[in-house]
Chains A and B, each alone.
Chain A
Amino acid sequence: MTRRLGLVLPILLIIAWEVVAIIVNNPFFLPKPEAVIPVLLSPFSDILGTGSLVDNAVVSIERVILGFGIAAAVAIPLGIGMGRFAVLNDFFDVTLELLRPIPPLAWVPLALAWFKIGIVSIVFVIFIGAVFPILLNTVDGVRGVKNTWVEVGTTLGASERQILSKVILPGAAPTIWTGLRVGFGIAWMCVVAAEILPGPTSGLGYLIMYAYNLGQINVIIAGIIVIGLIGLTIDQGFKAVEKRWFGWRRLER
Chain B
Amino acid sequence: MTLVVRDVSRTFSSGNGEPVVALTNVSFSVSDKEFICILGPSGCGKTTVLRIIAGLESVSSGSILLNGVPVTRPCPKMAMIFQEYSLFPWRTVEENIAFGLELRGVKKPDRLSIEEKYLDLVGLKGFEHRFPYELSGGMRQRVAVARALAIEPSILLMDEPFGALDAQTRNRMQHELLHIWEKTQKTILFVTHSVDEAVFLADRIVVMTHRPGKIKEIVTIPGTRPRDRTSEEFGQVRRHLLDMIREESDPIQ
Residues of A within 8 A of B (CB): 146, 148-149, 151-159, 162, 166-167, 170-171, 173, 246, 248-249, 251-253
* Interface of B toward A, CB cutoff 8 Å: 54-56, 74, 76, 78-80, 82, 85-86, 88-91, 99-100, 102-104, 131-133, 147-148, 151
Query: What B residues does A167 contact at CB under 8 A?
Result: 88
Cβ of A155 and Cβ of B54 under 8 Å apart?
Answer: yes
The minimal Cβ–Cβ distance linking B94 to chain A, given in whole angstroms, is 15
- Top 9 nearest A-B pairs (CB, nearest first) are A156-B100, A251-B133, A155-B80, A248-B89, A155-B74, A252-B89, A148-B86, A170-B90, A252-B133
CB-based contact A173/B90 at 8 Å: yes
| Contact partners of A162 in chain B: CB under 8 A | 103
On whether A149 and B88 interact (CB within 8 A), knowing A157-B151, A252-B132, the answer reads: yes
Q: How far, in angstroms, from A25 to B205 measured CA to CA in the complex? A: 91
CA distance A148 to B80 in the complex (A): 11
Looking at the assembled complex, report how far the CB atom of B72 sits from the nearest CB atom of chain A, in whole angstroms.
13
**A-B contact number at CB 8 A:** 66
In-complex Cβ contact of A166 among B55, B103, B132, B151 (8 A)? B103
Question: In the complex, what distance in Å separates the CA atom of A173 from the CA atom of B104?
Answer: 23
The 20 sampled A-B contact pairs (Cβ below 8 Å) are A146-B85, A148-B82, A149-B86, A149-B88, A151-B80, A152-B82, A152-B86, A152-B88, A154-B56, A155-B55, A155-B56, A156-B103, A156-B147, A158-B103, A166-B102, A246-B90, A248-B89, A248-B90, A249-B89, A251-B131
Asked if residues B86 and A157 are in contact (CB atoms below 8 Å), the reply is no
Q: Specify which chain B residues have a CB less than 8 angstroms from the CB of A252 in the assembled complex.
A: 89, 132-133
Known: A153-B99, A156-B76. 10 other contacts (CB 8 A): A148-B85, A152-B82, A155-B54, A155-B78, A156-B100, A156-B147, A158-B103, A162-B103, A166-B102, A246-B90
A151 to B51, CA, bound (A): 10
Does more than half of chain A's interface fall in helix, strand or loop, or is it mixed? Answer: helix
Closest CB in chain B relative to A173 CB, distance in Å:
7
Q: Contacts A148-B82, A166-B103, A248-B133 hold; do A154 and B74 have CB atoms under 8 A apart?
A: yes
Bound complex: CA A157 to CA B106 (Å)? 13
CA distance A251 to B134 in the complex (A): 9
CA distance A151 to B76 in the complex (A): 13
Collect the chain B residues with CB atoms within 8 Å of residue A170's CB.
Answer: 88, 90-91
Report Cα–Cα, A173/B131, bound state, in Å: 17
CB neighbours of B131 from chain A (8 A): 248, 251
Within the complex, the shortest CB–CB distance from A168 to chain B, in Å, comes to: 11
Known contacts A149-B88, A166-B103, A253 near B82 by CB under 8 Å: no
Contact (Cβ within 8 A) B100 A171:
no
